């Protein structure tokens, strides 16, 4: 979930929940000319998965909202993950209320689905990341039940110069799980997990994988410049690709959100951009942002994830076409080992 938690998030729960057809079919290159930006659902911080013949989008708010589709174009609302908040969340964040869980991350390992999620006290890095598991994503299955597994990690204002939100799980080629996370403050972090996919492995070693210069002190002030958040790692051939989001999110037409990327041969980095600049030192090759020119209809794009479905690589993100975020899906092309998408 993004640092600025707009009130429109809660208004999204009142959107029309009937499945709707987006406005166009993909062209021969896999690009959704209009349908890459949905009219419904309104989506923030999407994570995507495919089980059987069904695609699922999990996203911020409402106890983690869920929609399903057979074709990535027509979407149907499904039950949220949580109908009530796990008790441990209020114990860790006494002022937390409601179901405002942020930025879920969904992946399948060793026979079950892992869902990481975050929540925070607005405007502070007093944040927690939790984890839940399920045997299936199909709500009609008798095996369907999300089991909350509790706290993974917490950041505390005044103690930590990092923020425990925007989690992303990656399992390396040796089967070792790594959790990447973070937003603003002094950058995005990575830590190795134990075999339970939950507990930081000992001895703990925390890696900074992306960061930008900042000019504010570590207080509860306005976040200022140098925004970087929403890490997502995608393995392709010989490289791990780290996608991040820069600049201002969550401000509708005033958003300046854009997606950047770097790559590394080792999962812990360093992640270098196309010019050889380390993402931990303000590097990041531009991938996708808002439209340019007088006829702009999409003001910004960000908080992406990347997946391979049926042999095709996709970039999934949220986009700003009005006052609320919409779902975007684009096919990824690879040019000289770097991801590109049509804009």
CA distance 111 to 106: 13
In a domain, 107, yes or no: yes
244 DSSP 8-state letter = E
| SS3 of the chain: helix, strand, coil, percent, to 5 | 5, 45, 50
In a domain, 95, yes or no: yes
The neighbour count for residue 257, using CB atoms within 10 Å, is 29
Q: What is the pLDDT of residues 201-216, one digit of tens each?
A: 999 999 999 999 876 5
In a domain, 131, yes or no: yes
Answer yes or no: are the C-beta atoms of 314 and 329 closer than 8 Å: yes
Residues acting as catalytic residues: 45, 229
Answer yes or no: are the C-beta atoms of 176 and 92 closer than 8 Å: no
Q: Whose CA is closest to 60, among 122, 119, 137, 114?
A: 119
Answer yes or no: are the C-beta atoms of 316 and 325 closer than 8 Å: no
In a domain, 206, yes or no: yes
HEC profile for 259-270? EEEEEECCCCCC
Note down the domain range covering 226: 8-340
Q: Whose CA is closest to 165, among 201, 118, 203, 198?
A: 118
Query: Omega into 328 within 30° of 0, i.e. cis?
Result: no
In sequence order, what are the beta bridge partners of 328?
A: 37, 317
Q: Which helix (H) or strand (E) holds 55?
A: strand 54-59
Residue 16: pLDDT above 70? no
Q: What is the pLDDT of residues 258-301, one digit of tens each?
A: 999 999 999 999 999 999 999 999 999 999 999 887 777 889 99
Q: What is the mean pLDDT of residues 326-339?
A: 95
In a domain, 2, yes or no: no
Q: What is the pLDDT of residues 21-64, one digit of tens each?
A: 333 334 444 444 434 577 778 899 999 999 999 999 999 999 99
Residue % of the chain over a pLDDT of 70: 85
204 DSSP 8-state letter = P
Answer yes or no: are the C-beta atoms of 127 and 165 closer than 8 Å: yes
| Overall domain count for the chain | 1
Give the residue numbers of the binding site for substrate. Answer: 45, 123, 163-166, 183-185
Query: Omega into 41 within 30° of 0, i.e. cis?
Result: yes
Question: Domain containing 126 — which CATH number?
Answer: 2.115.10.20
């Amino acid at each position: 979930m993004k640092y600025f938690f707009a009130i429109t998030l809660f208004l999204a729960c009142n959107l029309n929940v009937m499945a709707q057809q987006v406005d166009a079919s993909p062209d021969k290159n896999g690009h959704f000319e209009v349908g890459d930006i949905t009219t419904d659902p309104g989506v923030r911080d999407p994570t995507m998965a495919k089980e059987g013949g069904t695609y699922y989008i999990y996203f911020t708010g409402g106890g983690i909202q869920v929609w399903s589709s057979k074709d990535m174009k027509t979407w149907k609302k499904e039950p949220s993950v949580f109908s009530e908040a796990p008790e441990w969340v209020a114990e860790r964040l006494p002022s937390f209320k409601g179901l405002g869980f942020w930025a879920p991350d969904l992946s399948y390992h060793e026979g079950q689905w892992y869902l990481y999620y975050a929540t925070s006290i607005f405007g502070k890095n007093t944040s927690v990341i939790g984890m839940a598991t399920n045997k299936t994503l199909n709500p009609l299955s008798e095996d369907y039940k999300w089991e909350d597994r509790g706290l993974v990690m917490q950041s505390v204002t005044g103690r930590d110069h990092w923020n425990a939100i925007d989690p992303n799980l990656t399992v390396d080629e040796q089967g070792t799980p790594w959790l990447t996370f973070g937003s603003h403050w002094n950058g995005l972090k990575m830590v190795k997990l134990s075999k339970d996919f939950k507990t930081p492995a000992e001895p703990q070693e925390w890696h900074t994988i992306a960061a930008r210069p900042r000019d504010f002190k570590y207080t509860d002030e306005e976040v200022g410049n140098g925004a970087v958040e929403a890490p997502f790692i995608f393995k392709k051939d010989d490289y791990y690709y780290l996608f991040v989001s820069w600049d201002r999110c969550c401000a509708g037409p005033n958003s300046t959100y854009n997606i950047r990327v770097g790559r590394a041969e080792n999962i812990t980095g360093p992640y270098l951009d196309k010019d050889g600049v380390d993402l931990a030192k303000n590097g990041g090759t531009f991938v996708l942002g808002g439209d340019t020119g007088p006829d702009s209809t999409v003001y910004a794009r960000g908080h992406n994830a990347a997946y391979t479905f049926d042999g095709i690589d996709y970039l999934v993100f949220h986009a700003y076409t009005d006052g609320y975020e919409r779902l975007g899906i684009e096919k990824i092309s690879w040019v000289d080992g770097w991801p590109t998408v049509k804009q």
